[in-house]
Homo-oligomer: A and B are copies of this chain.
Amino acid sequence: MQPTERTQVRRLPERGHYDRETINAVLDAGFLCHLGFIHEGRPVVIPTAYGREGDTLYVHGSAASRTQRALAEGIDLCITVTHLDGLVLARSGFHSSMNYRSAVIFGKGKQILEDERKAHAMAVVSEQIFAGRWAEIRPPSPQELKGTSVLEVPIVEASAKIRTGPPKDDEEDYAMTVWAGVVPVKHGWGEPIPDSRLPKGIPVPEYVKKFRW
């Protein structure tokens, strides 16, 4: 997509990406976003779960959807997804950095009102984390649907920002004897902890076993 005034990466523009494939890859690698919105004239950022389906992002958004505006024309959101891949130890503070992949989506978030569409959006968010689980758990009751707020945001104005590789130091600093390089970040999952009230003999599902960052 075309970068807009907002999505154009200004600082270090070589890190900016605007193609849908790159943006989707960053979104699909995660399930936790930081949702930004304006509440009473001031910025608010909350961590929340999301799911992508085609050109739509669904986010849990109880805090963001308090206002009546969210029901009508939608409220301005900024949804940011960040994957930290490594710490970049350069020979100077200025060139010290992080390796990361991030995506930023700007858009109007509209609250989903119809029960059926809301249940579908909840399924998309759930499947983003554990694909296959939604069909196994109890579907939401009418009260639960009422008590859950899901916002839908079209992925129209978006960008990704990616840094990879070693530090890029000033030429004269390469002679320094301080250690420099990259410390990779590893994300993973520990041994699943079965609930104490789980009936005996229920195995850990495949979608948990194969879940790896």
A193's partner among B94, B102, B141, B181 (CB-CB below 8 A) is B181
Enumerate chain B residues within 8 angstroms of A92, measured Cβ to Cβ.
137-140, 144
- B184 and A80 contacting across the interface, CB-CB below 8 Å: no
Question: How far, in angstroms, from A141 to B174 measured CA to CA in the complex?
Answer: 16
- B182 and A98 contacting across the interface, CB-CB below 8 Å: no
Question: How far, in angstroms, from A106 to B38 measured CA to CA in the complex?
Answer: 12
Enumerate chain B residues within 8 angstroms of A181, measured Cβ to Cβ.
192-195, 198
Interface size class of A (residues with CB under 8 A): 35 or more
Enumerate chain B residues within 8 angstroms of A123, measured Cβ to Cβ.
93
Enumerate chain B residues within 8 angstroms of A191, measured Cβ to Cβ.
184
Question: Closest Cβ of chain B: how far from A4's Cβ, in Å?
Answer: 11
- B11 and A91 contacting across the interface, CB-CB below 8 Å: no
* Chain A, 133-169, CB within 8 A of any chain B CB: 133-134, 136-141, 144, 147-148, 166-167
Question: Closest Cβ of chain B: how far from A83's Cβ, in Å?
Answer: 10
- A37 and B43 contacting across the interface, CB-CB below 8 Å: yes
- A194 and B211 contacting across the interface, CB-CB below 8 Å: no
- B32 and A98 contacting across the interface, CB-CB below 8 Å: yes
Enumerate chain B residues within 8 angstroms of A179, measured Cβ to Cβ.
194, 198, 202-205, 208
Task: Please tell me how many copies of the chain the complex holds.
Answer: 2
- Residue of A35, A46, A79 most packed against chain B (CB within 10 A): A46
User: How does the 8 Å CB contact mask read for A27-43 relative to B, with 1 for contact and 0 for none?
Assistant: 00000101111110111
Known: A78-B36, A186-B187. A47 touches B102 (CB 8 A): yes
Check: A173 CB closer than 8 A to any chain B CB. Answer: yes
A32's partner among B11, B32, B43, B84 (CB-CB below 8 A) is B84
Question: How far, in angstroms, from A188 to B188 measured CA to CA in the complex?
Answer: 8
- B46 and A104 contacting across the interface, CB-CB below 8 Å: yes
6 A-B contacts, Cβ less than 8 Å apart? A44-B106, A87-B130, A92-B137, A179-B208, A180-B197, A187-B187
